[in-house]
A = this chain, B = another copy of it.
Amino acid sequence: MQAEAREDNRERAAAGGIPFGPLQGLKVLDLSIIVAGGTASSLLADFGADVVKVERPGSGDPLRNWGPFANGVSLWWKVHSRNKKSLTLDLGKREGQALLLELAAQADVLIEGFRPGTLERWNLGPQQLHEANPGLVILRFSGFGQSGPYRDRPGFGTIAECMSGYIAMTGFPETPPVLPPIPLADEIAGVFGAMAGMMALYRRETAPSEMAAGESVAGDTEQGDTDGDTAIPKRRAGGQVIDLSLFEPLFRLCIPHLPMYDLLGIVRERVGNDFPDAAPRSLYRTGDQRWLGLSATSQSTWEALAQAMGLSHLLDDDRFGNNAARLENKDALNEELQGWLGDRPLDQILEKLVPAGGVVGPVYDSSQIINDPHYREREDVLEIDDPDLGRTIMPGVVPKFTATPGAVEYGGPRLGEHNSQVLGNWLDYDQERIQALEDSGVI
């Protein structure tokens, strides 16, 4: 039934030309470059928001230069900027700044990722933006945030990951710590940004009177607009700034480590693939040289696993009888499991253990994901027809909404592809005016 609902919505979306997501009608200006802000706007765009990527004329978002390329086009850009509109705009020019304020007056969300102080230098800081639109939700991404002693330091995700506490715990004791294989800090900051932006919008919609009367006191949110206007007052007030650093979201997800150190003096170190609090949990090598994840951290999953492997004698072994014993004899336990798993090919292992409830799964790379029936059935491997690349596979929309599932309409646009459309639709500019802006290098 869920799949049917999605299909049905997809058709409707196709007919209307707009992805049918929960954010239909939401207007987003994304001034940021590279990954973090673009992750936030990418998720909003997946779910139907009207996202305009504001890019520097001529060069555009540097993400366009991130390899690898196909037909000269960045695959990062194609995926990350899907569903977005590209508008070129020179924010260093006065005319560009004025135009940005006109657009901001129409927007619900503005995303930026310049060094702290840059927007202000352009006279486009929160004060000016909120004068143009008191309801604007402003997401500010930066390496270290808008305050604090490190605010002016250049912020790259790698440094954020290092300082978040995450990297010190990642890897094996005998090798260096390991950095993530994707821009993890940036992307998690981006997801936090999309989440926080939606929270601020929810607040704005459900408590519209809060700041309209010049107040900012909590508790009077029940006062509606009773001046006889029957339309729900929208975007009248209630915007705010959300300050997103790259280091804090990943730090926030390292849940218990601060009190562990503070109360118990424990500094979590690198322990490789063993889980510090339960065993077995690790990666193992299969007979056909694949990697397999295995987790049997509760007593019942451990017992089911040992039985399914035909190793039930391990259950009677004092070294493995309960979790504490298994933790103490982790190396011996891993050796037993590796022995069994190393004798068999991956497929055979899965066939034997999965039906028995074993918590196991293969380490997949892209070549395996693309052919996996579960990924396919859940529409996670999505095919679009792209004007630059032809038939192109990319990740589907995640997560899955039953009523308003969102959709991918098209891949990352060409630079300035939507100049006329955006200035026409958002601001009613005619073609002559748009041409003049182009001629003067403003767009």
Contacts and interface: CB of A to CB of B under 8 A. Distances in A.
A272 interface: yes
A322 interface: no
Interface string A232-261: 101000101111110011011111111111
Contacts of A80: 255-256
B176 A273 contact: yes
Interface in A402-438: 402-404
Nearest to A8: B216
B195 A158 contact: no
Contacts of A212: none
A261 to B, nearest CB: 4
Contact of A259 (B79, B254, B297): B79
Nearest to A74: B256
B230 A232 contact: no
A90 B167 CA distance: 40
Interface string A89-105: 00000000000000000
A308 interface: no
Contacts of A198: 195, 198-199, 201-202
A293 interface: yes
A377 interface: yes
Contact of A164 (B191, B205, B364): B364
B399 A291 contact: no
Contact of A256 (B79, B217, B291): B79
A119 interface: no
B244 A361 contact: no
A178 B365 CA distance: 14
Contacts of A392: 259, 262-263
Contacts of A153: 354
A333 to B, nearest CB: 16
A431 to B, nearest CB: 27
A196 B374 contact: no
A180 interface: yes
B378 A148 contact: yes
Most buried by B among A199, A219, A252, A395: A199
Interface string A360-373: 11111111011011
B176 A399 contact: no
A224 to B, nearest CB: 6
Given A43-B195, A201-B202, A273-B176, A370 B262 contact: yes
Nearest to A399: B244
A206 interface: yes
A399 B277 contact: no
B75 A260 contact: yes
Contacts of A23: 199, 202-203
Interface string A137-168: 00000001111111001101011111111111
A29 interface: no
Most buried by B among A154, A166, A249, A255: A255
Per CB-CB distance, the 5 closest pairs between chain A and chain B, nearest first, are: A198-B198, A169-B181, A159-B361, A162-B293, A22-B203
